[in-house]
Structure 1
Amino acid sequence: MALYTPAYQPTGDEIAVLTTSKGTIRVQLAGKDAPIHVGNFVELAQKGFYDNLKFHRYVPGFVIQGGCPTTRDLTPEQVINEGSRRGCGTGNPGYSIKEEFTTNPHNEHNDGTLAMARSSNPNSAGSQFYFCLGAQPMLDDGYTVFGQTVEGMDVIGKLRVGDVIESVVIENAAE
């Protein structure tokens, strides 16, 4: 799959506002540290890509993951009961982006960190993201961090498989 370079150039001031079925989460995006990941996330959010996707993976004390387009047309119950059979966790936006965990000077997986999921190929991230549920330093050398939660940690703690990403809006995005 070809590597995509987003046209959007982050300023470092972008804040992602994720409205979920459990509440709202605000994330300070790390545009200076992970410009490809932030640019990609902003572009996808502005296109409405994340609207009505479901969280499809929850590992207590580890991560809650969403952003897979295969969940779009499924009900929360279908994601909960049939997710793996229906391909949840295998989708992407039709491209992948270059890893930035080797160049991000602040690539630390702390409680509430927003990072990109990927397959075994380091350059396979696309749209799937996760929030860390506690510090996960073992991920620092393999997954790109591109934001840190500034409001809504309580919401992240309530999220489970099947919960809905109602929308993602980017505040302070450059025109």
Structure 2
Amino acid sequence: MKFRLPLTALMLGAALVAAPAFAKDKDKKDKDAAAEVTPTPAPLSTVIDTDASHDPDNVLLLDLSDGGRVAIRLMPQWAPHHVERIKTLAQRGFYNGVIFHRVIDGFMAQTGDPTGTGQSGSDLPDLQAEFNSMPHLRGTVSMARTNDPNSANSQFFIVFYPRFALDRKYTVFGRVISGMQYVDAIQRGEPPENPTKVVQASLASENKPAPVAPVAPAAPTLKAPSISDLNNSKSN
């Protein structure tokens, strides 16, 4: 299908062609002035500081039920309101005990729903989308949402492998800087049969130690039978 200009647009085009030269010069000056007033926004930096001791207030720590600690660099330069939401909920203890309820092999691991169903979130209002130019690389942390672009609330996901089809459609707000091996070990399923939990979520600036993993009961010590025991068993 070809796009056709409406009749009014064609007439406007003819009028522009017939306009005197001074009018064109004025239009050009107006455009130049407008360009100076509204400069093109600077591109976002893709550089990630992988040292968790730097700016620890923007490092999210997830202590998982498998015993691993995942460090995520939060990037307020990319999505300030989403980063603020994650930090607020983590400091409230909202994520503690929440499972990874949707984990697809080769794709991503999703968490952040206290009901474990994927249908709920926090009591805070949904967020306006902050879609940006950051790509969904391995280790990217991005906000989950419904079909409504402005429905992100508390759920987020961590990408196992690059998924560029998600770019500019979901709000990227951080990236894993350490512990990706523990992300890889998260139990798969929708939901998993034995889901991995976020035992504790905290900011590095809070200096919270990782929870002590429960110690498995020791196996009973097996005693080798003595010669007398063997003789007694034969006589029986």
TM-score normalized by the length of structure 2: 0.59
- Give the 5 Å matches for 1:4-153: 14-22=58-66, 23-71=68-116, 88-94=117-123, 95-101=125-131, 104-105=132-133, 107-153=134-180
Give the counterpart letter for 1:65 in structure 2: Q
Compared with structure 1, are the counterparts of its residues 148 and 58 closer, same or farther at alpha carbon in structure 2 (3 Å cutoff)?
same
| Superposition misfits of 4+ residues, deviation over 2 angstroms | none
Unpaired segments of 5 or more residues in structure 2?
Answer: 1-54, 207-236
Tell me how far apart the structure 1 counterparts of residues 56 and 149 of structure 2 sit (CA, whole Å): 24
TM-superposition CA deviations, 1:84-113 (whole Å, max 9, x none): xxxx00011132111111xx34x2110011
The structure showing larger relative contact order (alpha-carbon pairs under 8 Å, at least 6 residues apart) is 1
Which structure shows the bigger proportion of residues in strand conformation?
1
RMSD: 1.5
Matching residue's letter, 2:72: V
Q: Work out the number of aligned pairs and report it.
A: 144
Alpha-carbon separation, structure 1, partners of 2:144 and 2:105: 17
User: What is the Cα deviation at residue 37 of structure 1?
Assistant: 0.5
Kindly name which structure, 1 or 2, has the bigger radius of gyration based on alpha carbons.
Answer: 2
- Cα distance in 2 between the residues matched to 1:60 and 1:52: 22
TM-score of the pair, normalised by structure 1: 0.78
Return 5+ residue gaps in structure 1 as ranges.
1-10, 72-87
Post-superposition Cα deviations, 1:104-162, rounded to whole Å, max 9, x if no partner, equal 34x21100111110000000000101000110100012100111100011001000231
Q: CA deviation at 1:47?
A: 0.3
